[in-house]
Structure 1
Amino acid sequence: MGRHSDSDDQRIPVGISACLMGREVRHDGGHKHSRYCTGVLARYFRFRSLCPEMGAGLSTPRPAMHLVETDDGVRLKATRGDRDFTALMDGFVTEAVERLADLRGFVLMAKSPSCGMERIRVYREDGEVARRDASGLFAAALMDRFPLMPVEEEGRLNDDRLRENFVERVFVYDDWCRLTEREGGLTAKGLIDFHSRHKFQLLAHCQATYRRLGPLLADLKKRPLADIADDYIHAFMPAMAKRISPGAHVNTMLHLMGFLRDELGEQDRAAIHEQIDAYLRGEVPLVVPMTMLRAAQSKVEQPYLATQQYLRPYPDALGLRNRV
């Protein structure tokens, strides 16, 4: 992948709530600095910070706010008093979201009435909780405008599997965007090549989608390429958001072994199978059998496997497969 460099112009552009970058923009004048984002992910992601509330013209400190269900719909109001910030926020959000089309992902601040991705409380006007299933006003607009863009809350990045999944999706989405944005746009070859190099990732995440997308690409002349590509990526990205079970990883690794079977000696095959079984039992992390598969692929120089991003979905230095 072409953006694995640490230089600023090569890092993948990813949005982030400004408080997570350590900026003192919260309603109480504080921040929620994420050292994982600024110290680890920032080596590969070029973060662009945004605070919807500050962007809408509010100061810090400012009144705490929450979402309120009213006869006029959900409103953004001060938790004390009756100040309504909805129009101010909506005006900024509508304009700001349109400037984010080049981003490949977004890390949001949880529990925020503007940036919370999910499980945001909506109150009744009497102060009681009406429901707990909303998104913040900015987060909702972002996900509605860019449904394919990987979005995650910073707190959920503490979960090893969610963190690995988010980073993997950012790199895949970046690959797709660069493919479609290059001079001349998407080509039939470009679409087939994309599917080919991400095929085993898709298999691991969702076998049903894997089986469906192959036939979709079997005849690229029966419909406009843009329509096929649109159907493809709108099935592909949601499939990639599904968590991979250990059994699904094992199934995918055994598929990879099928390409190596004739080239590897019996001892090498047995050693790899032993570590795949150990991974399934939870005795070793995914990185152990995966490293052995990568070494075997390099040893026999199997050209098809050399293109598979499943073997190297993101930089090894992130250490993500050490913990899943």
Structure 2
Amino acid sequence: MRTEGTTERVLRLLGLLQHRSQWTATELADELDVTPRSVRRDVERLRRLGYPVEAAPGIGGGYRLGAGTRLPPLLLDADEAAATALSLRLAAGGTVAGVGEAALRALTKLDQVLPPRLRAEVRALYDATGAVVGPHSTIDADLLVRLARACRDSVRVRFRYTARSGDERERTAEPVRMVSVGMHWYLMAFDVGRDGWRTFRLDRMSEVEASTWRFTPRDHPDPVEYVQQSVTTSPYAFVARVRLRAAAEDVRALVPATAGRVEEEADGWCVLISGGTELDWIAMHVASLGYDAEILEPPELREAAARLAQRLSRMAGTGD
């Protein structure tokens, strides 16, 4: 009979239960080289840890993992861990809509405990699949993980950043959180050199290094709201607020999160907030949504809408 610690044996039992849908007590005892009584004790240990091990009595009965009310830790073998990490890298990079941030959190946890050999294997597989992922997957998953750890551990990061103007400078920042908006990742951080909160687009960052300088987290605005506001309004000369006779979810389906944010209103209306460099461009895109609209601000947008209406009237042959 094999001699091993209780913890090691319980982990082996968990691996067996995850590998096959059902086992008899005798089969498990043979696999673990213990008595059926030891199997029953180890099953109870797994249950106390939160694993829903179900038992069916009689001929053909046995043990199997069921669905519980909470998710206990999973035990993955090397191939499963590599496949999971690769899938999370692809999802975090933006290839699976709506799951980027959750995938990044899971990838950060898994990457922390992966052996170096498996981490290198996952990296090689990811590089091999990059050509078929698509044009939007431009963020290196290693960069995502590095920044996620810096946010979690509250350590400063240094990097070179290319601004919208093309100007490139070295920056030092205290990272708080990364936010996925549309097909881009953004880092919300306190810019030490400029003494203020900033949003950095990850595909404009290079030579990123996490330092050993730990900082005390500052009070900060809501990261998701801050990033969306920075993306949709801050860079632009004009910020428009327009009431639309439409459900907010319908407008969100037409307006990307990188182009504007939509606020709920009563009585079947919502408010679209969007920035732009030209008022005529904003008027054209609001009109293209196809909803009744009321311009709240700026007043100059009403003049742009009037010019657009005149041009359309002349195109239709009904204008003066």
Tell me if both proteins adopt one fold, taking TM over 0.5 as the criterion: no
Higher helix share: 1
Higher strand share: 2
Larger Rg: 2
Bigger RCO (CA 8 Å, 6+ sep): 1
When normalised by structure 2's length, the TM-score is 0.24
When normalised by structure 1's length, the TM-score is 0.24
